[in-house]
Structure 1
Amino acid sequence: MLLAMYSIFVFIFIGYMAKILRLVGNRQSGILLGFLLNFALPAQVFNGTYHAMVNLDFLLMCFIGLLCNIGAGIILFFIAKLLRLDKSTLIVFCVMGVLGNTLYLGLPFVKGALGDAYANQVVIYDQFVTGIPFAFIVPIIMSLSGKNKFSIFAVIKRLFKSPLFLSLICGFAFRFMPFHIPDELFTPLKSLAQTATPVALFAIGVQMELKAFLDWKHTLLLLSGKMIIAPLILFCIVNVIFGGFNDLWRMALIEVSMPPLVSGAAILLAAGFNGKLALNVVTFGLILSFIITPVWLQFAS
């Protein structure tokens, strides 16, 4: 786990220093993100979906993980209402309290804590708990901003334009084929997938902003909901209903405790909501994950 955290820190730090030293500009950053979203991550999702062990226990775990995130989002909504926060901040509370960085950051954390055996499950978990909900949330956010009207057609269109979702569908489709794809054919795909984590962490580093800790009260409140309340709900459910933690539930605990999603901040900025708060919770949530996630794992041991 410590080695994984060290690797995560190094890749993010390199990205941040590349930004500070102006070694990477918007053009290069755009190329990296295009490679990540259209090639490296889809390769990882397809490979993971095809090889992952998916059963009812795993699907139940994904469903409960999603409910924990939604529960935290609902609690944050009522807290924001109680504090009489403006609409812009309230929307940031709800969105960033539900969406976690379950792939870019969650995958290396899970691999470091539980080993490579759970890496394939992570990519499916990410799509069920973060990717597909994100596809529904984006049109809602844009409609609330007045820039677009919400429609189910827009959601479906967004899903089927997403390389990650299409990779998930293709991975499941090939699982049900009456033949098995030889592992040798996955060699170049696995090599491509292995670049996803370092490139993703590097991209996070490039997007980090540490110039000022603005709106710190709301930042800490939102992060408490996402990184403490949501995993606390899961912790109670697992101990009361399932009798304790195994590695599958530890994976869920890591994922539920992840800080808010980087892409969520980008969408909120584009929609004109409280972008400063959204960027704050991404940046400082990332830093706090190096403390909070190991503590949760210690409780679940």
Structure 2
Amino acid sequence: MQAILAVTVPFFALVLCGYLAARQRVLPEAAIPGLNAFVLFFALPCMLFRFGASMPFAQLINPALIGVYALSAVVVVLFTVAVTLRRADGRGVDTKNAAFGALVAAFPNTGFMGVPLLVALLGDKAAGPVIGTVLTDLFLTSSLCIAIAQAGPAADGAPHDSVWATVLRSLRGALSNPLPWSIGLGAALAASGLELPGPVSQVIKMLGDAATPVALFTIGAVLWRAGQHAHSRTPVGQYLPVALIKLFVHPLLVLGIGVLLRAAGVPMPEFGLMVLMLAAALPSASNVSLLAERYGADNGRVARIIMASTVLAFVTFSLLAWGLGVGRG
């Protein structure tokens, strides 16, 4: 456990630093979008580009592992919507908010936190399975949840676009994200056998090295900002159960589906399945609160789910890593 805490404590401490810096106005709120843009468009793509260029494509994209993770994400989404959707007795939330609650239940913070954390815990070989989860969440999980959100009645009674139009818009949004392109460009460079010129490689290395600390600091700042812009006070019963689904149900589903597929004869690398479990046990992605705000969902509820999952994950993630034998040899 000491070896695990030696990695997790600094990671979560940097998140706390970002939160406190924003809360105490040391970091102006107007600077938070700039930090987020630096991580999303410069630092993190360079880090993922380097991972993509450093390993064989088969290790980067494993269909069996992606299948396990994709199936578990779909089940988590449908389960969360089912248990949180407003019932006949009036309890629960509407379709749009059930969908965005499902998105934070199924979408871990793999980009900003998961890739560097799991690589720090398990080594560079963990990057392949984690990158597979990033691609799955960008293209499948987010598209599915936005489609469900748009399937419900609009607040003003206006008709929504068709499901296919919504899915296509979501996919276009995923394709505008620089992370998949950076992974693909790295893999293409590795397949070509070419090398980047020294100065270019050094710039990419410097930006990639900045990704981890700045991304973690930004998570904390974004969490504070999301709380400040929340438009409602959310009862504990509407956000804590969803955070617990994220931290407990999601990784257990990954394990269960992986074990079932292995029993059915599907080749399932043990190490890769462990990485998927740890990725699923990460807190919810912090930028979902911005997406919820854009679509007119209750971003206060989403922000509280993310905050609760982030606070609790320090304990739950560390215990899961210890239970899986990480750091014991």
Same topology, TM > 0.5: yes
Deviations 1:104-128, CA, capped at 9 Å, x for gaps = 1212331232124423553x22432
2:21: which partner in 1?
18
Identity of aligned residues (%): 18
Report the Cα offset of residue 137 of structure 1.
Answer: 4.9
Counterpart selection for 1:80 from 81, 84, 87: 84
Contact 2:108/2:283, CA 8 A, preserved across alignment: yes
Helix, strand or coil: the match of 2:111? coil
1:180: which partner in 2?
194
Report the Cα offset of residue 205 of structure 1.
Answer: 1.1
Aligned partner letter, 2:284: P
Does 1:249 find its partner at 2:273?
yes
Helix, strand or coil: the match of 1:100? coil
Does 1:104 find its partner at 2:128?
no
* CA 1:53–1:292: 2 relative to 1, 3 Å: farther
1:230: which partner in 2?
250
Equivalent runs, 1:1-301 vs 2, <5 Å: 1-55=4-58, 58-81=62-85, 83=87, 84-87=91-94, 88-119=96-127, 121-122=129-130, 124-133=131-140, 136-137=143-144, 140=147, 143=150, 149=161, 150-151=165-166, 153-177=168-192, 179-181=193-195, 186-209=201-224, 214-242=234-262, 246-301=270-325
* CA 1:116–1:170: 2 relative to 1, 3 Å: closer
Whole-angstrom CA distance in 2 between matches of 1:147 and 1:117: 47
**TM-score w.r.t. length of structure 1:** 0.86
Deviations 1:234-257, CA, capped at 9 Å, x for gaps = 222344543797332221111111
Whole-angstrom CA distance in 2 between matches of 1:34 and 1:129: 22
Deviations 1:32-53, CA, capped at 9 Å, x for gaps = 1121111111111221112234
Report the Cα offset of residue 298 of structure 1.
Answer: 3.5
Contact 1:109/1:254, CA 8 A, preserved across alignment: no
Whole-angstrom CA distance in 2 between matches of 1:216 and 1:183: 54
Contact 1:141/1:271, CA 8 A, preserved across alignment: no
Whole-angstrom CA distance in 1 between matches of 2:274 and 2:237: 30
5+ residue gaps in structure 1?
Answer: none
Deviations 1:82-131, CA, capped at 9 Å, x for gaps = 75423143223322222111121212331232124423553x22432222
> What do you get for the CA RMSD once the two structures are aligned?
3.0
Helix, strand or coil: the match of 1:105? helix
Helix, strand or coil: the match of 1:272? coil
5+ residue gaps in structure 2?
Answer: none
**TM-score w.r.t. length of structure 2:** 0.79
* CA 1:35–1:75: 2 relative to 1, 3 Å: same
Whole-angstrom CA distance in 1 between matches of 2:208 and 2:160: 34
Q: Greater CA deviation, 239-248 or 157-166?
A: 239-248
Whole-angstrom CA distance in 1 between matches of 2:185 and 2:251: 31
Q: Greater CA deviation, 108-117 or 24-33?
A: 108-117
Contact 1:100/1:260, CA 8 A, preserved across alignment: yes
Whole-angstrom CA distance in 1 between matches of 2:235 and 2:275: 32
Deviations 1:29-84, CA, capped at 9 Å, x for gaps = 22211211111111112211122344278331122112112211111122124754
Report the Cα offset of residue 164 of structure 1.
Answer: 1.7
Whole-angstrom CA distance in 2 between matches of 1:296 and 1:24: 33
